[in-house]
Structure 1
Amino acid sequence: MSVADMGLPVALVQLCATEDAELNRRQAEVWLERAMQPAPGRVKPRLVMLPEVWNAPYAADRFEAYAEPIPQPGANLVESPSPSLALVARIARRHGVAVIAGSIPEQGSHGRIYNTATLINPQGVLLAKHRKLHLFDVDVPGGICFRESDSLTAGHALTVLSGSGDPLGTGVEEPPALGLLICYDIRFPELALLMQQRHGCSLLAVPAAFNTTTGPRHWHLVMRARAVDTQCFVMACSSARPAGDGYPSYGHSLVVDPWGTVIAEAGEGEQLLDAELDLSQVGLARRAIPTSLQRRGDVYRLSEMKLTS
């Protein structure tokens, strides 16, 4: 049975970063290779995903030390100056699989550091990169205090990859347009709605690292809400919760369908999460509850923003 006759098989890699950058890359390689050897009865994924900041500790004062240069879309990442993305690109090319390579700290120009997610095609070529638009600056009484803006610069563009020509090599009959966000970005519904309303997205990918303060309150709620808002699939890949000290990631990587139903969920620790996206559900949901056709443009509308691809 071909991929076109079934759903789109995907795999989310929920792993935990350490202080050792080389160890983080080795662990990512092990998990990505494991993803390409599915359990009996499962098919190999056509799209694999890593979490937010998977190559470094998630700590505002450490991002600069782990930052790597990331070239512009179109670059062959196998020869990239980023050792983390070069590793992922080699695996993508070895197995002929597309990878949403989570995010890593990016060394930008003029000393700027970004939290940047990337999309890599099955030939190891960079298709798109997204610099996190909304920096995680929060202070929850009795919970977490974190300020990404102490070290990071925010991005300035919405990032969408068109499905035209099937750049991800999914093999499905109607390849999805994919919107790329990073963690805190998902809390701003306008961004996801623009991706769906103006750019036809049917899949939202969210590398993330919610924590044990915000996760129990909002992780499932926000991911399911954005799926219902946009009638898209939402793939939310979290980092795993550390056994000892460190950023207390919530875990619980999710795949949510366009009806808001969680179709796959991980636990707290390191884990590979498999799912199959029945992309026909996007059209079914939008025909059954046609919110896109019922919006009141005479009363309210979304403004466009700069787009990258």
Structure 2
Amino acid sequence: MSEIGSALPVALVQLCATEDAGLNRRQAEAWLERAVLEAPGGGRPRLLMLPEVWNAPYAVDRFAAFAEPIPEPGADLTQGPSPSLAMVASLARRHGVAVIAGSIPEQGEAGLIYNTATVVDPRGVLLAKHRKLHLFDVDVLGGICFRESDSLTAGEALTVLSGSSDPLGTGLQEPPNLGLLICYDIRFPELALLMQQRHGCTLLACPAAFNTTTGPRHWHLVMRARAIDTQCFVLACSSARPLGGGYPSYGHSLVVDPWGTVIAEAGEGEQVLQAQLDLSQVALARQAIPTSHQRRHDVYRLSGAPGSSVHEAHFMNTDCVG
């Protein structure tokens, strides 16, 4: 049973992108509108989520054509330069709901292109942005060969959104501290552990696009492993499996609890995945199995590299809608 004030209803939107940017925005908006509807047997979602690169084909030679400028946190996205995020922000404001807006190709400085995830508050304001740190450069014999670094530049900071003042407008007594990762980032446990140990994260969000080679092998394993490592909830929102050609996304969006249990899972196609996060389970898991207090810092410890940085956002909750 959830403690009073600890339940967070969420909805993950699993969808497919096309070669038509305008169509991608319209389809994403329609799916988000559907996700806002009250879930059967549960409350209206307070947090929505989109997958990795939802506004463009997931292809290294197409990222630049679909890239959009993304302002810095604090900007009103409804008036911003990104049409994709302006749509998300307008929907967020219309319904008074926060959105982890997946990732889109970002047109950065000096012509650089990034794979960038964002978080939007219920007023349509940008709370956080995370540039993918680990680019997906792999060559699996007999499987898939993909090199994001052929067109993308890696980010340089981990990204954490503090729950202080409840910027997501959850209404919870103890709003979550949110760590933001993108797909391949989740394979590097040090990143998630830093988010939990140094920045107090209780919720990790990972928009992703695992494929039909890596997905069957590792999708469930790595998401459950990071949940167990950090004793956090993990939201893993995937793109849907295309019916025709294109990048073969695995689908199977997941919600994993701090015990490593999958509490909600999507199929392969387009759909909305609803779940209730009982955030009181974070403290219970950490009390029952107190790994955070049992680490041997005299033998090993996490240490940020010289010059490493973190984007840690703290926002005052001023007139949040909802």
Same fold (TM > 0.5):
yes
> Matched residues in 2 for 1:164 and 1:110: separation?
34
In structure 2, the gaps of 5 or more residues are 314-322
Match of 2:318 in 1: none
> Matched residues in 1 for 2:159 and 2:40: separation?
36
Match of 1:107 in 2: 107
State the Cα distance separating 1:303 from its structure 2 match.
1.1
Match of 2:33 in 1: 33
Residues matched between the structures, number: 308
- AA of the residue aligned to 2:310: L
State the Cα distance separating 1:6 from its structure 2 match.
5.2
Instruction: Map Cα deviations across residues 89-133 of structure 1 (whole Å, 9 max, x no partner).
Output: 000000000000000000001010000000000000000000000
> Matched residues in 2 for 1:201 and 1:228: separation?
13
Kept after mapping to 1: 8 A contact 2:6/2:174: no
State the Cα distance separating 1:253 from its structure 2 match.
0.1
Given the alignment of the two structures, is residue 167 of structure 1 paired with residue 167 of structure 2, yes or no?
yes
> Matched residues in 1 for 2:141 and 2:31: separation?
36
Match of 1:152 in 2: 152
Instruction: Map Cα deviations across residues 238-258 of structure 1 (whole Å, 9 max, x no partner).
Output: 000000100000000000000
> Matched residues in 1 for 2:125 and 2:281: separation?
30
In structure 1, the gaps of 5 or more residues are none
State the Cα distance separating 1:210 from its structure 2 match.
0.1
> Matched residues in 2 for 1:213 and 1:40: separation?
34
> Matched residues in 1 for 2:243 and 2:198: separation?
42
State the Cα distance separating 1:4 from its structure 2 match.
5.2
State the Cα distance separating 1:39 from its structure 2 match.
4.0
Question: Could you say what secondary structure the match of 1:68 adopts?
Answer: coil
Kept after mapping to 2: 8 A contact 1:4/1:171: no
State the Cα distance separating 1:7 from its structure 2 match.
1.1
Match of 1:283 in 2: 283
Instruction: Map Cα deviations across residues 214-271 of structure 1 (whole Å, 9 max, x no partner).
Output: 0000000000000000000000000000001000000000000000000000000001
- AA of the residue aligned to 1:79: Q
> Matched residues in 2 for 1:5 and 1:169: separation?
13
1:1-309 map, 5 Å: 5=5, 7-304=7-304, 305-308=308-311, 309=313
Instruction: Map Cα deviations across residues 73-97 of structure 1 (whole Å, 9 max, x no partner).
Output: 0000000110000000000000000
Alpha carbons of 1:4 and 1:104: their partners in 2 closer, same or farther (altered >3 Å)? farther
Q: Which ranges of 4 or more aligned residues in structure 1 deviate by more than 2 Å?
A: 3-6, 38-42
> Matched residues in 1 for 2:290 and 2:128: separation?
30
> Matched residues in 2 for 1:221 and 1:40: separation?
29
Q: Percent identical across equivalent pairs? A: 81
> Matched residues in 1 for 2:88 and 2:9: separation?
19
Instruction: Map Cα deviations across residues 248-296 of structure 1 (whole Å, 9 max, x no partner).
Output: 0000000000000000000000010000000000000000000000001
State the Cα distance separating 1:5 from its structure 2 match.
3.6
Question: Could you say what secondary structure the match of 1:272 adopts?
Answer: strand
TM-score normalized by the length of structure 1: 0.98
> Matched residues in 2 for 1:80 and 1:45: separation?
25
Question: Could you say what secondary structure the match of 1:110 adopts?
Answer: helix
Kept after mapping to 2: 8 A contact 1:233/1:258: yes
Question: Could you say what secondary structure the match of 1:229 adopts?
Answer: helix
State the Cα distance separating 1:178 from its structure 2 match.
0.2
Question: Could you say what secondary structure the match of 2:273 adopts?
Answer: strand
- AA of the residue aligned to 2:309: K
State the Cα distance separating 1:42 from its structure 2 match.
2.6
Kept after mapping to 1: 8 A contact 2:6/2:279: no
TM-score normalized by the length of structure 2: 0.94
Question: Could you say what secondary structure the match of 1:285 adopts?
Answer: helix
Question: Could you say what secondary structure the match of 2:127 adopts?
Answer: strand
Question: Could you say what secondary structure the match of 2:202 adopts?
Answer: strand
> Matched residues in 2 for 1:12 and 1:227: separation?
17
> Matched residues in 2 for 1:198 and 1:34: separation?
37
Match of 2:319 in 1: none
Kept after mapping to 1: 8 A contact 2:132/2:155: yes
- AA of the residue aligned to 1:210: F
